[in-house]
């Protein structure tokens, strides 16, 4: 029997595709340091679990498709801290940031339409776009210049009569790029001139380093009618498994139409919403400690990479990822070899080959994404495995 061309066209996740090799390595008794996935090891706040523990309605029933009022109110309160004022009907709770992005693409684009995305980008953007029947048009950026956006004219040349939106993450996954005010204004001007939506994936906004200031597209009044913020509690509160995100936009038409999609999947899990609603009460000390920990890890990984012959990368300014060019012909082959044929004292590493984070064929073939979500002593050991692995591999 035949399967759909839609599913055949979807790529495997470069973040998870090597999991069987890591499982096999562990069965052989090896320790595997997972630098491939953005799964924080910071403790999830107690407020989340306590709220669920105290919740006992007798019957675990469906809740509102748009999300429970307490959670929507908590998101409204949270955004006030970033100078953004949303009303109750501006926010829709979603199954993580992933569903928020997928729903935003479905609501703004018809099948065959195009969306501009700076590459390298979060690999699931490809999957979401493919599901929605949307063509990804990459705005190519490079490791050599810190993944800065090109000039306005370069981006403008990519626009056709099918272009509907610009989708970008800020701070960036997989690059750690934080967009400057000049770059944000370039995107704003492009959207205004060509009547485009801006789908702003801002799940890492808490993690901006070196004294830089985070600026949300939602703070720019002149484009608030075309900005769709997609968000998640996963990263800032180390609650990836809760699958709680949201769409936040001042465009009432967009929320009205996305509400149809929310209704079609009935509701987001009740218990996780109850827990997430209490996260707005978490002390600022929690976020400060998490920020300081990631900043320390960022420097540990970057400094280690700088000491490896032939490795090229710039210091990431945000999130908890770094994309590095390695002195290898094929980073995926190297990543597989680390898991199947190499270890240092019984320890090895799993990284994410970066080619899958690009839409342009051949780009990123010698690059990997490293997620610095492990404790510092583990990162030191992991980076040593990569260093020794490169030496052995290139022999």
Same domain, yes or no: 17 and 66: no
Give CA–CA dist 286/236, Å, rounded.
10
Of residues 188 and 1, the one with the higher pLDDT is 188
The total number of structural domains that make up the chain: 2
205 backbone dihedrals φ, ψ, rounded to 5° = -60, -25
Give CA–CA dist 114/134, Å, rounded.
6
Q: Could you say which of 281, 304, 326 is where a domain stops?
A: 281
CATH number for position 38: 3.90.1150.10
As a whole number, the mean pLDDT across the chain is 96
Over residues 262-317, the pLDDT tens digits come to 999 999 999 999 999 999 999 999 999 999 999 999 999 999 999 999 999 999 99
Split at pLDDT 50, 70, 90, the class of 7 is: confident
User: Computed over its alpha carbons, how large is the radius of gyration of the chain?
Assistant: 21
Split at pLDDT 50, 70, 90, the class of 330 is: very high
pLDDT for res 10: 76
Same domain, yes or no: 152 and 260: yes
Give CA–CA dist 145/309, Å, rounded.
19
Over residues 360-393, the pLDDT tens digits come to 999 999 999 999 999 999 999 999 999 999 999 9
- CA–chain centroid gap for 155, Å, is 22
pLDDT for res 15: 66
Long-range (24+ apart) CB contacts under 8 A made by 126-133 are 126/10, 126/11, 126/356, 126/359, 127/10, 127/11, 127/13, 128/98, 128/101, 128/102, 129/105, 130/6, 130/9, 130/10, 131/6, 131/10, 131/102, 132/102, 132/105, 132/106, 133/6, 133/109
Over residues 9-57, the pLDDT tens digits come to 777 776 677 999 999 999 999 999 999 999 999 999 999 999 999 999 9
- Tokens 């996954």: give the residue: 173
114 Rama sector, left if φ>0, alpha if ψ -120 to 50, beta otherwise: beta
Over residues 98-146, the pLDDT tens digits come to 999 999 999 999 999 999 999 999 999 999 999 999 999 999 999 889 9
CATH number for position 84: 3.40.640.10
360 Rama sector, left if φ>0, alpha if ψ -120 to 50, beta otherwise: beta
pLDDT at 178 exceeding the cut of 90: yes
Partners of 165 in the β-ladder:
115, 197
Same domain, yes or no: 10 and 96: no
- CA–chain centroid gap for 194, Å, is 26
User: 146 is in which domain, residue-wise?
Assistant: 46-281
């Amino acid at each position: 029997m035949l399967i759909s061309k839609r599913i055949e066209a979807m790529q495997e996740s470069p973040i998870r595709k090597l999991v069987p090799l890591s499982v096999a390595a562990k069965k052989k008794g090896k320790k595997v340091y997972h630098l491939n996935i953005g799964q924080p090891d910071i403790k999830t706040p107690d407020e989340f679990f306590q709220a669920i523990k105290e919740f006992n309605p007798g019957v675990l029933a469906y809740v509102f498709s748009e999300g429970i009022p307490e959670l929507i109110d908590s998101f409204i309160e949270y955004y006030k801290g970033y100078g953004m004022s949303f009303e109750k009907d501006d926010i829709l709770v979603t199954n993580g940031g992933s569903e928020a992005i997928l729903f935003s693409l479905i609501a703004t684009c018809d099948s065959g339409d195009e969306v501009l995305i700076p590459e390298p980008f979060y690999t699931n953007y490809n999957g979401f776009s493919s599901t929605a029947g949307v063509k990804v048009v990459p705005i190519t950026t490079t490791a050599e210049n810190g993944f800065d956006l090109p000039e306005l004219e370069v981006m403008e040349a990519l626009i056709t009569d099918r272009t509907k939106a610009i989708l970008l993450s800020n701070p960036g996954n997989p690059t750690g790029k934080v967009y400057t005010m000049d770059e944000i204004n370039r995107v704003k001007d492009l959207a205004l001139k060509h009547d485009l939506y801006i789908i702003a994936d801002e799940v890492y906004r808490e993690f901006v380093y070196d004294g830089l200031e985070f600026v949300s597209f939602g703070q720019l009044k002149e484009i608030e009618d075309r900005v769709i913020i997609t968000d998640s509690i996963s990263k800032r509160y180390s609650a990836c498994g809760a699958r709680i995100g949201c769409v936040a936009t001042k465009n009432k038409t967009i929320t009205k139409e996305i509400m149809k999609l929310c209704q079609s999947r009935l509701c987001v899990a009740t218990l996780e919403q109850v827990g997430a609603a209490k996260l707005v009460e978490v002390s600022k000390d929690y976020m400060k400690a998490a920020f300081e920990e990631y900043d320390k890890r960022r420097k540990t990984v970057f400094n280690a990479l700088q000491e490896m012959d032939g490795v090229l990368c710039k210091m990431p300014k945000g999130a908890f990822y770094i994309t590095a060019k390695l002195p290898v012909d094929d980073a995926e082959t190297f990543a597989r070899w680390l898991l199947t044929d190499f270890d240092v004292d019984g320890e090895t590493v799993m990284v994410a080959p970066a080619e899958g984070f690009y839409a342009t064929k051949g780009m990123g073939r010698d690059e990997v994404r490293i997620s610095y979500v492990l404790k510092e002593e583990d990162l030191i050991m992991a980076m040593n495995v990569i260093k020794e692995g490169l030496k052995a591999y290139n022999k």
